[in-house]
Chains A and B, each alone.
Chain A
């Protein structure tokens, strides 16, 4: 590095730059927080949706699946499973999920396995509510197609 560029100049860029961009991040975060209610439709987070998120976490579904593209890559994306497996119809999807959860693990040799979680019908309905709410988040139209 050129001799004119001294250590104290480098230090000032570090402190100044770090501080400035951290403040900018806070500013953008505040702006995002104001914008999000329009995009996440939080008015639709019912008790059932909140309970569904809890079952999702308590059973570590994210350890195999991705949700909005984050998580594990071992099993299908579930952010749009409401469209894929329910065709966008709530009743159809709930029926699907109840039977799906009931028949796991599928007895197909060699195929990746999803465990049996022994959830009640109500718990599965709440999971379905959570996945339906999730599928309606405005997330800039990801994934590219129905397969997730």
Chain B
């Protein structure tokens, strides 16, 4: 660690991982409800579990991105963080707002939560991923502003590396596009059109800048390859991401009201979206092959390579499968969408956060050359368990999606099964998903345990 202020990243990482555990527990609960509708009903209805699952996901990823920025920006800028105090205060504000919101979901009926948070003054609730009470959304904006200000001031007074500039552009974009969550007209078509300006322009736009910047930083550190080379690659990846992804948003405009030209515009541009993800794989492997030194933190390199590969599979391959309009006509809103959502979110964003944690946490804990061997071995086991079980979940949902389309969507009216009858036929696939989910949970526990083992070993750097 070069600067003491980098230490503020630590609580962000720790809290992110705690929320991650919560996310998976609620995922498993929903997986069980898919098999038996009585599970936990009426105490935790499916929609409540789903809000908790997806909101915890988003919030823990945001904590992860913030931790990543607080760690890497001072180091890249060659200066202390502008205000460690502000970073610590925003941590507690964000953590308190997050916990209060989740408790709100769990403890009172949603309509009551809308009432007590005065949703009527500025109704923004009740839309997928944006279920948070308006007051929480305002809190998120304030925390993001404080965060972007803090990071921005640090970069302004220090070295403006490419990684820094790309990261801050991504973070500003994240904050700006979130503002669309406050626009909720009574016209459903306009509501949906701009809902995607948060959701799509995040995950297939500005978050890719954040992903690229963090990945580039870790690769420089673990391989020692010349910055110039890595920066060029970073520009290529994010250029292609924006060029394909901005108009690629059209793949969400096929069936919600906008006009016909989106069918082919969305198809053509989104079909190019896998390209930057593929470049990321090439780039990561090439850089690791050309490495100038053997960093003792081997598992961090594994995470970095794994992120590139799994993001390509989840976003690139599973995104492409259903992105062309004639295909999407049949797959839209099916279990195939869920298959893609899982592998993409895990492969790209959950894994990049674990990559930076894997690299930075040992350093923050006074182990500059990585964790002891036994800890790294356990972490590698956790890496493989989580990756393989997530692929298992994805394949189970893909099979379920194919079955759903074959039974419910393709046959003509009269021959097609109803939604509920179709779902009943898919239960075997949901069992497979749930079993892989449990294996994933084992992997997660192993991952968390790896932070606590090997203390008595000779440190890897000793």
What's the minimum C-beta distance from B352 to chain A, rounded to whole angstroms? 19
Counting chain A residues whose Cβ lies within 8 A of the other chain, the interface size class is: 35 or more
In the complex, A66 Cα to B412 Cα: how many Å?
Answer: 21
A residues neighboring B (CB under 8 Å): 1, 5-7, 10-11, 13-14, 17-18, 21-22, 24-25, 28-29, 32, 35-36, 39-40, 42, 45, 49-50, 53-54, 56-64, 66-77, 105, 109-113, 115, 117, 130, 133-134, 137-140, 142-148
The number of chain B residues with a CB under 8 A from chain A is: 78
Contacts A76-B420, A115-B45, A145-B413 aside, 17 further interface pairs with beta carbons under 8 A come to: A5-B232, A7-B231, A10-B235, A18-B239, A32-B193, A39-B259, A49-B186, A50-B186, A64-B50, A70-B256, A72-B47, A105-B42, A112-B33, A112-B37, A138-B257, A144-B410, A147-B416
Q: A1-B232, A58-B110, A115-B42 are in contact. Are A14 and B242 (CB under 8 A)?
A: yes
In the complex, A24 Cα to B242 Cα: how many Å?
Answer: 12
In the complex, A109 Cα to B417 Cα: how many Å?
Answer: 21
Tell me if B428 counts as interface (CB < 8 A to partner A): no
Q: Is the CB of A69 within 8 A of B255?
A: yes
In the complex, A139 Cα to B131 Cα: how many Å?
Answer: 25
Q: Is the CB of A69 within 8 A of B332?
A: yes
In the complex, A71 Cα to B37 Cα: how many Å?
Answer: 19
7 closest cross-chain pairs (CB), A and B: A63-B47, A57-B126, A69-B333, A10-B235, A142-B255, A112-B37, A50-B186
In the complex, A34 Cα to B76 Cα: how many Å?
Answer: 46
Q: List 13 A-B contacts (CB under 8 A).
A: A18-B242, A39-B258, A45-B186, A53-B186, A62-B126, A63-B50, A64-B45, A105-B42, A111-B420, A139-B256, A140-B260, A144-B330, A147-B418
What's the minimum C-beta distance from A4 to chain B, rounded to whole angstroms? 12
Q: Is the CB of B247 within 8 A of A28?
A: yes
Which of the candidate stretches B87-95, B152-160, B298-306, B334-342 sits at the interface with the other chain? Answer: B334-342
Task: Write out the residue numbers on chain A whose beta carbons fall within 8 Å of the beta carbon of B239.
Answer: 10, 13-14, 17-18
| Residue in chain A with minimal CB distance to B37 | A112
Q: A58-B119, A105-B42 are in contact. Are A63 and B48 (CB under 8 A)?
A: yes
| Residue in chain B with minimal CB distance to A10 | B235
Q: Is the CB of B255 within 8 A of A73?
A: no
Tell me if B246 counts as interface (CB < 8 A to partner A): yes
In the complex, A76 Cα to B419 Cα: how many Å?
Answer: 6
Task: Write out the residue numbers on chain A whose beta carbons fall within 8 Å of the beta carbon of B110.
Answer: 58-60, 63
In the complex, A144 Cα to B72 Cα: how many Å?
Answer: 49
Q: A57-B125, A74-B46 are in contact. Are A110 and B37 (CB under 8 A)?
A: yes
Q: A57-B125, A60-B110 are in contact. Are A70 and B235 (CB under 8 A)?
A: no
In the complex, A137 Cα to B188 Cα: how many Å?
Answer: 9
Task: Write out the residue numbers on chain A whose beta carbons fall within 8 Å of the beta carbon of B375.
Answer: none
In the complex, A112 Cα to B422 Cα: how many Å?
Answer: 13
